[in-house]
Amino acid sequence: KKYLLCKVVSGVFTVCANDQLLNSSESLRFALGCTGMDLEECKRQCIRDAETLANESINSPCTADFQAMQGFGAQLDIFTMGQLSDEGVPQASLLPLPNIKNMGGATLIKYGEPSHCAEIPTAEYCVIQGTLAQGAQAFSFALGNCLPKVCSEDELRSILETTVPQGLNALVQCDLVRPLGAAEGASKSIQNLLGWGGIPVYYPNKIKFTVGAALTLTLVLVLAALMTVGTWLEWQRESKSRRLEALRDVQANASGVYGAGMEAAVPLTLEINQQDLPPPSALEGFVNHWSLLRNGRSFMRVRKGDKNPFAVIDFLKTFSMAQVILGHSYFYIMSSAGFANMEQFNPPNGLLGQFWFQAIPGCFYGVDSFFVISGFLCAIGLDTKLFNNARNRTTAGFSAKYLQFVVFRWLRLIPTEMFCIALSTTLLPYLGTGVLWNMDRSDGTRCYEANGSAGCGQYWWTNLLFIQDADKYMGKCYGHTWYLANDFQLYMTAPFFG
């Protein structure tokens, strides 16, 4: 109660103890009922009236730690007057709340200052979040609060359960940030040198390290080792090849012309014991496939037009990919956190009302262009590599080639996709920190599961079979990979239309 009334008590005490204000404002003295009283009696009358209203003894402003807690929690100053910013963007004049406007419904997100809250010995940082459903509309919120430690998480949850309106699904979480203690010794000296103040804090991650995480980490280390060894072996081989070529050049340019008096000189002969490098062993050839040098050159390779008759498709793929990335970045932010300056986007005067900006919301057509490009290249490949051979047009030949066609396509797509799923579900939880990272959301997920990996522990096999685009499994695991499922299914049927 003292904490909740802290601002009121401090404000009342500031007014009632202000000699200049009470002496200069007759209207205030009249409102307090102390007209004609001396100053000290008027102060006492002011305090008594405030105590009656607040049902709390007011002998002094609330303690310094309570004031600090109030300051480090989410500040909702609903009485702040609005004004135009330097860019001419109108700010809300009645309710200047952050991130209140988006496509997915009203959202209020403000976390305060958790690291400063952790510096107060008597305080604990908690986040209260939830969703208030009113028919088809939903209002979601997440507010950080710096509260006294005597308020336990269970007590806060009990208060919410008894006071929240019907339809509000609220969640309370505390112990999201802890102090490490004041810096000492060399750490203190460095802190003072850099001008860093306060107490270092850390954000406890309660996710336990699993067997799956260990296996994925082992796979990552193996891949890193293969890339390191492959790159080193290729660099060594190329270095030897350059030295050998230099020796050949020196020997080829060696001259038998000597000056006067040099008739008895013995010419320098460069012996090259090995004219050519030996071919790489099978193991070396395998490791070489992981070389960063080899793959980097392949990735950056530019083929001339006469060797790449469909070079324009490279441009179309690049443009479509950029369009898809920009468009999804715009729409996903609008449907989650939202934009505080929506006025700069909404038509008719915002960007969405400009013709040139239509490429961004039109990003979904970029995905359609991928299907067109993939279908065209698939048809070209089938015509040149499959159906130009009469044997492959027979039932037996076609069956064998079709099986090979499907397996190769599956092997091209599935290793990378399953590696990303394994990385997201097992290792990603340990790669971040902070309040947002470790906090459970009202739907039971965490922020790093916004990539669609929340259900992958149960539905990963749908991606393995490329059926994650079916209605029953849509969005269960890596929902954005619906395109890969569509792509694979179309590839499976393409030969029958060739």
Say which residue, 173 or 185, is predicted with more confidence.
173
The one-character DSSP state at 185 is: H
Summarised one tens digit per residue, pLDDT across range 339-350 is 666 667 777 777
Report pTM: 0.73
Element holding 202 (H helix, E strand)? strand 201-202
Task: Enter the tokens of residue 69.
Answer: 């807690």
> Is residue 417 within 8 Å of 200, Cβ to Cβ?
no
Answer whether residue 182 shows pLDDT above 90: no
In this structure, the number of other CB atoms found within 10 A of the CB of residue 71 comes to 14
pLDDT at 366: 85
> Is residue 311 within 8 Å of 377, Cβ to Cβ?
no
pLDDT at 195: 62
pLDDT at 217: 95
Q: Is 111 exposed, middle or buried (CB count within 10 Å of its CB: 0-12, 13-18, 19+)? A: buried
Helix (H, G, I), strand (E, B) or coil at 17: coil
Q: Which range, 40-49, 69-78, 148-157, 429-438, is most confident?
A: 429-438
Whole-Å CA distances, 34 to 41, 50, 55, 56: 8, 14, 21, 21
Summarised one tens digit per residue, pLDDT across range 120-130 is 888 889 888 88
Q: CA 294 to CA 77: how far, in whole Å?
A: 58
Within 8 A by CB and 6+ apart from 201, the residues are 114, 115, 118, 119, 177, 178, 179, 180
Mean local confidence (pLDDT), 51-56: 63
Q: Which residues of 204-228 are buried (b: 16+ CB within 10 A; e: fewer)?
A: eeeeeeeeebeebeeeeeeeeebee
Whole-Å CA distances, 401 to 5, 88, 389: 78, 64, 11
Say which residue, 14 or 173, is predicted with more confidence.
173
Residue 100 pLDDT class (50, 70, 90 cuts): very low
Q: Is 451 exposed, middle or buried (CB count within 10 Å of its CB: 0-12, 13-18, 19+)? A: middle
Say which residue, 262 or 406, is predicted with more confidence.
406
Residue 164 pLDDT class (50, 70, 90 cuts): low
Q: Is 165 exposed, middle or buried (CB count within 10 Å of its CB: 0-12, 13-18, 19+)? A: exposed
pLDDT at 452: 84
